[in-house]
Structure 1
Amino acid sequence: MSTIKTVEELRTVYKAPLERAVLKEMVGLDKHARAFLQRSPFVLIGSCAPGGRADVSPKGDQPGFVHALDDRTIAIPDRPGNNRLDTFENILGNPTVGLIFLIPGMNETLRINGTAEISTDPALLARFEHQRKLPISVMIVRTEEVYLHCAKAFLRSGLWDPSTFIERGSFPSFGTILKDQIAAEETAEELDRHLAERYKATLY
């Protein structure tokens, strides 16, 4: 056997999960999950189109930008972005989402799986006003699985260890990459400058 095709085959390769890895799963938010959300400035959102195309998109803001509306519901504001709307289009056809919340310097992550919808309710938008600007919409997620994930991936990767950080100049700038990938008429330097200007003008 080289390619695993069934759950039974998979379970012959891996050991059974530890009991605590199964028991830690909750359907809603406890005090620790709420505290994690209050400190997290970053979340990765996994979604899937009805036909099966998967996507993972990042969202970041000030710590605590994701609000717990109650023990089974969280709300994530959507700020200006690239307007591809991959996640939102997926949700309209398949509301299932998987979220991973990070806190800089902390090796554990918070995982939330559930179903999502998109809201433009004025009262809800007002809740997330920042710098006198409202989010474009708010993603509401009804939780089905909530649990803290262990630190092994972060320990192996050394993600928060400054000694692992690359010299930014050792990798092409975003403008250089765009120039190569889309054959833009602007120079790489012009693209980088325009991106920096847009970041300042449209962050919120």
Structure 2
Amino acid sequence: MTSKTPFHEGERAIQQRAGESAVADRNVTLVSDTVIGGARPFIAKQFMVVLGSVDASGDVWASALFGQPGFIHTTDGRAIQIDVPEGSRDPVDPLWTNIASGRDLGMLFIELGSRRRYRVNGTVSRIDGNGIDVSIREAYPNCPKYIQRRHLRALGASEEPAQAAYGTVLRGNVTQLIQQADTLFVATHHVETGADASHRGGGAGFIQIVDEQTLRIPDYHGNSLFNTLGNLQADSRAGLYIPDFANGQSLQLTGTATVEWDQADPDRVTGGTGRFWVFHVAKWILRDAIPRAEWEYLDASPFNPPVAS
């Protein structure tokens, strides 16, 4: 970061390459170092938060936590409290070994049913047997584009330990989950601005499987801040979280990602940007991650570009 811009060098480089620096400068006024008053009740009523964290080796992971409304809250807008007792934490999720006091944590609060989302990045200031406090570095709303509407009809406690599988190549049930997905979450990190968690969505099949260790994701028009791609410009390590709403599973992947520019796109699967980002898989975890959750699919985003046939 410099005194002349609120963006780090990676974000600025991507904005300039995309020709969207002026738009980014206008939209950055939405970014604050506190959660605005109107967003505080929105956060408190959520039953899901997506988190971005970094492990001891520097690999980035995306995770999701679930709880009854009120398990996440903020009183003054300067810190977020996440109440997750130690006994209810998923030992399979790398999140719980990644975070400690002073570590970066990215948070995305997303309400699929209303297509509302709010992004908060900060630093863990407390973690104990009751939960986590996160001191806020930056917070801002995101637009509702590309979110498929779903309603969570029921969320119950797990009666059995989550079953987990691990791997490094994309085969079998893993590829099937990816091919059917219309939603993913991506975590990235920057040494100065910390961890970040973001949403990506599209029609089922918008995530392309190139080979057993490579995914290709179209990059649509967004808010022009380019937080995710900007972070990747500076540090290519990234994590994905892909939920399987129908079968109550989730896929977490960690690896690296690179951006492809000015690609041929005759079917306009990028929505006209000509951009893709390619994710190279290092390892993955597949597990039962949304136990006893009953989701009702409502409709797809009207902004979704077509999916490659």
TM-score scaled by length of structure 1: 0.61
2:18 maps to 13
Preserved CA contact (<8 Å) 1:50 1:93: no
- Structure 1: how far apart are the matches of 2:149 and 2:83? 26
Q: CA deviation at 1:22?
A: 0.4
* Post-superposition offset of 1:83: 1.3
For residues 13-42 of structure 1, give each alpha carbon's deviation from its aligned partner in whole angstroms, at most 9, with x where no partner exists: 342234442000010122112121122111
If you compute each CA radius of gyration, which structure gives the higher value, 1 or 2?
A: 1
Which residue, out of 144, 149, 153, partners 1:151?
144
| Cα offset, 1:102, TM superposition | 1.5
Q: In the TM superposition, what are the counterparts of 1:1-204 in structure 2 within 5 Å?
A: 8=13, 11-16=16-21, 17-79=23-85, 80-84=88-92, 86-92=94-100, 95-120=103-128, 136-154=129-147, 158-160=148-150
Report how far residue 105 of structure 1 moved: 1.4
More strand by share: 2
Aligned to 1:126: none
Tell me the CA shift for residue 119 of structure 1: 3.0
TM-score by length of 2: 0.42
Report sequence identity in percent.
22
Gap regions ≥5 residues in structure 1: 121-135, 175-194
Higher helix share: 1
Shift of the 28–93 alpha-carbon distance from structure 1 to 2, 3 Å rule, reads closer
| Unaligned runs of at least 5 residues, structure 2 | 1-9, 152-181, 183-203, 205-245, 250-287, 293-309
Deviation of 1:90 (Å):
1.5
Aligned-residue CA RMSD (Å): 3.2
Residues 23-80 of structure 1: CA distance to partner in whole angstroms, max 9, x if unpaired?
0001012211212112211100101124321111111112232121422111101241
